[in-house]
Amino acid sequence: MKHEFLEEKQRQRASSQRALQTRERIMDAAEQEFARNGYDGASIRSIASEAEVPVALVNHHGGGKEALFWRVVARRAEDLSTARQEALSTQDAKGNSSVPELLRCFIAPLLERADHGGAQWLAYARLVAYVSADPRWEDLAAVCFDPTAQVFVDRIAAHYPTHARAAVASGFIYSIAAMLALLTSQWRMTALGDGRIETSHRLDELVAFCASGIDGCAAQKADLGH
């Protein structure tokens, strides 16, 4: 699937406006269906019903359930990656690329989209969490997320001794889990806390939490003498 997907991206052709609108409606419906029910529980028939198109049209634009899942995840990944890279460039221009600021560049773009992009971006956050938790989507993560993640791991690791890179990578994965938990579990925070707070207002505490966690991972690695 990985090689087929990459080859398809290289040979994409222009489509009519009507076809593009239909495709976006199908992708939106699939995004919601996969977010609600996961890959295994999602139904092509349900996606067609929500998009108000024939099942055959979902297959035409999606290419089967697995290919459709890949396309749905990849659809927003490029926008998110570009936003993170632009945030990183802006921060570098300020000359203060500390670990917290690097984490902010990675986390803020998704939180901002979840806050202001409506139900589709919240559904997408659930899909990212789903992909991150299931090893069968390793190739999908390698295509859509790993290139940008590696950039940030490298930049954060530069603040620590060379031998701590593995610990930094672990801390970064913990940070991604915390970011996704914020996006998908605010109802639990509301239930256990004192009311709902906008996701963007949680950014400072999340960055502080993640930066401290990476510090702790690196310190433990150093204590173990590796």
Return the higher-pLDDT residue of 220 and 180. 180
- Reported as a single tens digit per residue, the pLDDT across 148-204 is 999 999 999 999 987 789 999 999 999 999 999 988 887 888 888 766 666 667 899
Q: Which of 125, 144, 138 is nearest to 199 (CA)?
A: 125
C-alpha span between 171 and 161 (Å, rounded): 15
Q: At what angle do helices 17-41 and 65-94 cross, to 10 degrees?
A: 100
Q: What is the pLDDT of residue 63?
A: 86
Domain at 2-223: CATH code: 1.10.357.10
Overall residue count recorded for the chain in this entry? 226
Q: Are 136 and 44 in contact (CB under 8 A)?
A: no
pTM of the model: 0.86
For the chain, give every domain's residue range: 2-223
Q: Which of 2, 32, 8, 4 is nearest to 136 (CA)?
A: 2
Task: Flag whether pLDDT at 10 surpasses 60.
Answer: no
> What residue type is 65 in one-letter code?
K
C-alpha span between 59 and 44 (Å, rounded): 8
Percentage, residues of the chain above pLDDT 90: 68
